[in-house]
Amino acid sequence: MNRRQLLTLLLSGCAALLGAATAQESRIITVEAASAFNTATVSGTVIPFKEVTLTAQLPGRVKMIAGEEGDYFPQGTVLVEIDDAALRAKRKQVEAQIANASAALRNAQVQYSRELISPRSESPSAMPGFGLPIMMDNVFTKNMSQFMGMSEPGLERHAQLYSAWTGINQAQSQLLQAQSALQEIDTKIRDAKSIAPFDGVILKKMVEVGDTVQPGQPLIVFGHIKYLRIQAEVPARLVSGLRKGMLVPVRLDNGVHTKARVAQIYPMADPTRHTVTVKFDLPKGINASPGMYAELKLPEPSVGGAQQAVIPVSALIKGRSLPAVLVVTDDGSTSIRLVRLGERIGKDRVVVLSGVRPGMRIVDNPPPNAHSGWTPGNMAR
């Protein structure tokens, strides 16, 4: 036996051994049935975890904008500032009114004390000539008038004190009014600045520096995007199958597949569209951005528990562009059958939506690029 014949014999033996190993690995199995929820696809939109639209609280010209779209700012940062020069000028006027009101109050208090200690009606310094005429009035005229019932000095004294006390109350009211006006102006000056209510980024700008704005006009949209959510309008029939905290499969518009957690289910359905707003939390660090389209697969409670075909992942023929299996026919031969796959069950099984049915026989672990008619060496008919 020459060298070429020996090499041919060895290759034939290796091929036989490989075929035998392949035949031993391949086997006939029965397609199982498993209860699984059918799913419905619902569209949604990626939204920030928090989002606010800051609006103008007073008319004026935009003086400052902290940054551009995408810039990050911590809580408490001034994001937009409206020119408040007119308000500050008015504030100085009110401060002058407060000073005048304070002086008037002090003067009223002094006049009341003077009237209380030294009544002006009994002071002899108001008349010339050493005050003799008014002293005579105090000694004789007033006493005689009181004796005859023509006057009441006690009542006059009470009226003079009450008048002085009224002056104090009026001065206090004027001071309080001026202080309230100052607080009102300070509030408007504070409203001239739009402050970040939480850590986040500018999502959208609606004004530029120099623009004139009116109260209620939107300035910027500010959002917290460290964590993202999906907001979806879910048909009312599907809401009964959702529970807070459950995970649902999600496919984002950029091709990312992940799972989202049910975070919030609104208590009321929309009376026009008959849908319920549901928010889903996305995993931290997901490759997504606000406004992105998303699809959620939600369970269909109305058809839950339907029997679906389940096969091992190893039963799929390797090397084909479309998923396919070798189906064992009634006469014992095999034929290639294309299948449409559903969700994975664990790591080694997959749901088959169409192509095979529970109870059918297929070949598990077929060789790569297996063809119709191929059968395992130990196939039992």
C-alpha 32/C-alpha 17 separation (Å) is 32
Mean pLDDT confidence for 127-146: 54
Which amino acid would we find at residue 143?
Answer: N
Residue 2 — very low, low, confident or very high, per pLDDT cuts 50/70/90? low
The pLDDT assigned to 135 comes to: 54
Q: Give per-residue pLDDT as tens, 175-228.
A: 999 999 999 999 999 999 999 999 999 999 999 999 999 999 999 999 999 999
CB 335 within 8 A of CB 327: yes
304: phi then psi, degrees, rounded to nearest 5:
-65, 150
The pLDDT assigned to 20 comes to: 44
Residues in Cβ contact with 322 at an 8 Å cutoff, skipping those fewer than 6 apart: 338
The pLDDT assigned to 332 comes to: 84
* Total residues found in the chain within this entry: 381
Q: Give per-residue pLDDT as tens, 93-103.
A: 999 999 999 99
Q: Which helix (H) or strand (E) holds 250?
A: strand 247-252
C-alpha 204/C-alpha 89 separation (Å) is 33
C-alpha 17/C-alpha 20 separation (Å) is 5
The pLDDT assigned to 129 comes to: 45
Beta bridge partners, 327, equal 335, 362
C-alpha 68/C-alpha 19 separation (Å) is 67
Q: Give per-residue pLDDT as tens, 115-133.
A: 888 776 555 544 444 445 5
C-alpha 323/C-alpha 352 separation (Å) is 10
Measured from the Cβ of residue 364, the count of other Cβ atoms closer than 10 Å reads 17
* For the chain, percent of residues with pLDDT exceeding 90: 49
pLDDT of 277 > 90? The answer is yes
Q: Give per-residue pLDDT as tens, 11-59.
A: 555 544 444 444 447 888 999 887 655 677 899 999 999 999 999 999 9
Tokens for 381? 């008919």
